[in-house]
């Protein structure tokens, strides 16, 4: 997924404000799910929501106004009720590494109670249930 950096994305030093990378990660996860045929809105209507329980970022270089970033998102691990998405952000033209990180998401029902990942999600993301550990 591509993200163009606008002035509003930057801090007083002219570089992307550090917390905005979390927003880019969120957009990229939604984009990743949609590319795999999953609609977040439809999942919510069907009683499955995602909650971030952990986020990690490692800043490698500064991105600035006018650049276009490419966010690569992959599913790097999964358990019975959680998924870890890994993210790599590079500047599009130079391929310069900007940020690396991950986010752990737990699946919950409409009342916020943790639940197993529905088979539909596992199938869409090509996660084998045979490889999942028995605990969260």
Torsion of CA 24, 27, 30, 33, to 10 degrees: -50
Choosing from 2, 11, 34, 109, the catalytic residue is 11
Joined together, the tokens standing for residue 131 give 């490889």
Whether the CB-CB separation of 68 and 5 falls below 8 Å is answered with yes
Listed residue (78, 81, 103, 93) closest to 23, CA to CA: 103
Residue 9 is among the residues annotated as catalytic for this protein: no
Give the Cβ contact number of residue 135 at 10 Å.
7
Of 85, 79, 63, nearest to 4 by C-alpha is 63
User: How many residues belong to the chain?
Assistant: 136
Active site residues: 11
């Amino acid at each position: 997924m591509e993200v163009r950096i606008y002035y509003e994305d930057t801090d007083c030093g002219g570089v992307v404000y550090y917390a905005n990378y979390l927003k880019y990660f969120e957009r990229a996860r939604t984009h990743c799910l949609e590319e795999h045929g999953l609609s977040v809105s439809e999942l919510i209507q069907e009683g499955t929501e995602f909650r971030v329980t952990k986020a990690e970022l490692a800043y490698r270089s500064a991105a600035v106004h006018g650049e276009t970033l490419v966010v690569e998102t992959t599913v790097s691990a999964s358990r019975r009720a959680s998924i870890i998405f890994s993210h790599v952000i590079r500047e599009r033209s130079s391929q310069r590494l900007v940020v690396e990180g991950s986010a752990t998401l737990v699946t919950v029902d409409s009342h916020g109670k943790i639940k197993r990942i529905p088979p539909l999600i596992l199938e869409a993301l090509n996660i084998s249930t045979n490889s999942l550990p028995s605990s969260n």
